[in-house]
Structure 1
């Protein structure tokens, strides 16, 4: 597949890394020569310097025979014009644009992106993706990562195992025997910074980060097994009233269960806009690092503090200050992946990586066809792919134990005729089944081969 990626920033670079690693023909385009050079020096991609929306630059990048263009520059307008030029001049079949401004995303204007108007096939909103990720973190406070699969029936959750975990030093095979009715499958373990897909004989140790698939009805029981409790969220303090913070507050107000939320926002104009938009949420104008203001917002009694300002360091420091004041849980937005390793030392419970959420959303649309969902785990270390099994797939008709999966691949859950089935060695995969597969990044091409997506749909 030939792909042009416009914008070589964090998101563009990560998408280029993923796609070039899967032997796609990738060209990265940016008007910053340093970013283009970084991409060509570190990845197996071609680099073009220039403005993404200029027809001659797109022509030089190979738009005449491109299968897809991903417009992820810093400018919404450049991304939109790029897709228009790619469609009108070069007839590029598939166009994805990242748009940030909420005005472009309002549902009543959705007709704007029709082929006869502004031909964009997929619109990605980083702020909406991040707000949804924040809501998932709030819904599962005991997990550092969570994502829904199989129409919400199954959750993938990342759990950090502490010394209090009652099943430490227990092999996964024994865990399945001890809790035979528990619908949980452990698919990934990160130990000493290394993520791998475990064998049935592998044991769990303190400080492990475990990724597992669990049926939604078994979440509380699973958390008990791992020594965690699922506290009910009643009060939430949101630091940052921009698009992300406001999106979370609006969603919390719409819920049937009452959750009291307060927002602290430093910019008066943004604070006033949030106050005008929200009905029950109290908006305070001030600095998120102000101890007195945090106490006025009730952070000492809050179930969680969500730090989503546009400054990583403010998010981290305010999260630490909230935890010290007595807040039960701290979640913060971190753009810089190099800061993530120190979050545990700072007692920050969970973080949201905007790049990872945006990359997951874009991958979901790149791996189209029978692939229904894609989630990027960690900093692009692994992917979870949800897909329907085709009749032409090598998986169809085989027992799970007989499938020649790579070492870094495990099936986490599946449905047959819409009903959940816990994947065991003697489970037979049949045409029409929907499977969720955990795969280390290096093994994704083999997973796609097993799913036969590229043959049928590209």
Structure 2
């Protein structure tokens, strides 16, 4: 597939790199020659220096025969115009744009991105994606990552194993025998710096990070088995009244269980802006690194603190102070991988990387075949993929053990005939089934091929 990526920043570069590694023909456009050179030198990616929305620049990038354009520059308007030009001048079939300004996302302007107006097939809002991830973390407070699949029927949750885990040093096969009614399976283990797909004979050890795919109704039970009780957060402190903080606060206000929310915002005018738009949230104006203000916000008695400002250092330190005060869960927004690596040392329970969430969302719309959802693990080390089996997919009509899933991949759940089932080797795979599979990065293309549409399908 020939793809044009507009923007060689963090998001654009990672998208271009990933698509290139998977065998796609990728060209990246950016106004900064250094960024273009760095990316084209390090990866099998062509580069064009110029303004991504200019027709002549898009022409040089090969838009005339491109199958997809992904606009991920820092400017919403450039992204939107690039998609418009790609459609009107070059008839590019599929166009994806990152749009950050919330004004474009309001319901009353919902017709803006219709084909006859601004022909963008998929609009990605990083703030909305980050808010969604933050809310998922609050629903499973013991998990440091969480993502829903199969329309909410299954979840991927990531847990850190400590001494409270009663099943350490137990082979996974034995766990299946001990908890035969549990609809959950360990699909990946991070031990030190290495991420692996475990075998049935593998054991779990103290300090491991594990990734589980579980039926939603069994998530809490599965977490309890691994020593991680996870009551939902009911008292929450949010640091930062930006778009992400406001989105999270609004969602929590609408929670039927009545979550109590307090928000801290350093900028007075922004604090007033937030207070006007929130009904039940108490908004405090001040510095979240001031222990006295954190005490006024009741962070010591809170179930969770979420620091969602645009400053990584503030987010990490506010979370560290919150944990020191006795807060149960601390989640920090971090854009820089260097700061993400400090979360453990500071006692921060989890971090959210906007770039990683945006990349995962974009990849969901890039995948071939019937790929319905993609969730990226770490810095793209592995992916959880939700995909539908078509009549002409190579795995249709085969039993799971004969389907050809490569080493370094595993099926975590199957939705068949409307029922969620845990995978077994003798399980038949039928047309219309939807599978959740986990695979390491180098196995992604092979797993995708198992769900591909044959030519005779058309």
> Do they superpose with TM above 0.5?
yes
Mapping of 1:268-417 within 5 angstroms? 268-367=268-367, 369-417=369-417
In the alignment, which residue of structure 1 is the partner of 2:229? 229
Change (3 A) 1:232 1:139: closer
Deviation at 1:359, TM superposition (A): 0.7
C-alpha displacement at 1:224, in angstroms?
1.2
The answer on whether the counterparts of 2:368 and 2:448 sit within 8 Å (CA) in structure 1 is: no
- By how many angstroms is 1:455 displaced? 5.3
**Superposition deviation, residue 339 in structure 1:** 2.3
Partner of 1:121: 121
Helix, strand or coil at the partner of 2:127: helix
Give the equivalent residue in structure 2 for 1:2.
Answer: 2
* Structure 1 segment 106-185 matched on structure 2, within 5 A: 106-185=106-185
Query: For residues 350 and 326 of structure 1, what CA distance do their matches in structure 2 show?
Result: 16
Query: 1:257 maps to which residue?
Result: 257
Deviations 1:96-153 (A, max 9, x none): 1100100001122111111111111110000000000000011111101000001101
**Residue in 1 aligned with 2:245?**
245
Q: What is the rounded CA distance, in whole Å, between the counterparts of 1:161 and 1:51 in structure 2?
A: 48
Structure 1 pair 308–106 and aligned structure 2 pair: CA distance change class (3 A): same
In 2, the alpha carbon distance for the partners of 1:134 and 1:303 equals 14
Question: Secondary structure in 2 aligned to 1:29?
Answer: strand
Counterpart-to-counterpart distance in 2, 1:343 and 1:150: 31
Provide the residue aligned with 2:70 in structure 1.
70
C-alpha spacing 1:204/1:401, structure 2 compared with 1 (3 Å): same
Aligned counterpart, 1:27: 27
Q: String of CA shifts for 1:427-452, please: whole Å, max 9, x gaps.
A: 11111111011111111111111111
Report SS of the residue matched to 1:186.
strand
Aligned 8 A contact 1:368 1:457 in 2: no
Gaps of 5+ in 2: none
Measure the CA separation in 1 of the matches of 2:372 and 2:223.
27
- Label 1:220 to 1:344 Cα distance change in 2 as closer, same or farther (>3 A): same
Assess if the C-alpha contact under 8 Å between 1:146 and 1:156 holds in 2: yes
**Runs in 1 of length 4+ with deviation above 4 angstroms?**
453-458
Secondary structure of 2:341's aligned partner: helix
Contact kept, 8 Å, 2:369 with 2:448, in 1: the verdict is no
Alpha-carbon separation, structure 1, partners of 2:321 and 2:307: 11
| Distance across 1 between alignment mates of 2:147 and 2:127 | 17
Question: Aligned-residue CA RMSD in angstroms?
Answer: 1.3
Instruction: State how far apart, in whole Å, the 2-side matches of 1:456 and 1:313 are.
Output: 54
Provide the secondary structure at the position in 1 that maps to 2:423: coil
TM-score, normalised to structure 1, is 0.98
Q: 1:202 to 1:357 in 2, by over 3 A?
A: same
Alpha-carbon spacing, 1:252–1:455, altered in 2? closer, same or farther (3 Å):
farther
Other-structure match for 1:53: 53
Cα offset for 1:338?
2.4
- Give CA-to-partner distance per residue, 1:296-344, whole Å, 9 cap, x none: 0110100000010101111001110110011111001111112222211
- 1:453 Cα shift? 4.2
Match of 2:427 in 1: 427
Give distance in 1, aligned partners of 2:93 and 2:279.
43
Residues 453, 324 of structure 1: alpha-carbon distance in 2 compared, 3 angstrom cutoff:
farther
Distance 1:443 1:456, change over 3 A: farther
Distance (Å, rounded) in 1 between the aligned partners of 2:443 and 2:116: 39
Aligned pairs, number: 458
**Structure 1 residues without counterparts, runs of 5 or longer:** none
Is the CA contact (8 Å cut-off) linking 2:369 and 2:451 kept in structure 1? no
Q: Report the secondary structure of 1:344's partner residue.
A: helix
- 8 Å Cα contact 2:140-2:232 kept in structure 1: no
CA contact (8 A) 2:393 2:454 kept: no
Structure 1 residue 24: Cα displacement: 0.3
Q: 1:197 offset after TM fit, Å?
A: 0.7
Q: 1:135-185 CA distances to partner (integer Å, 9 max, x unpaired)?
A: 001111110100000110101000111122111001110110111111111
- In structure 2, the CA distance between the partners of 1:455 and 1:277, relative to structure 1 (3 Å rule), is farther
Q: Deviations over 1:60-85 (max 9, x none)?
A: 11111110100000001111111111
Deviates further, 302-311 or 260-269: 260-269
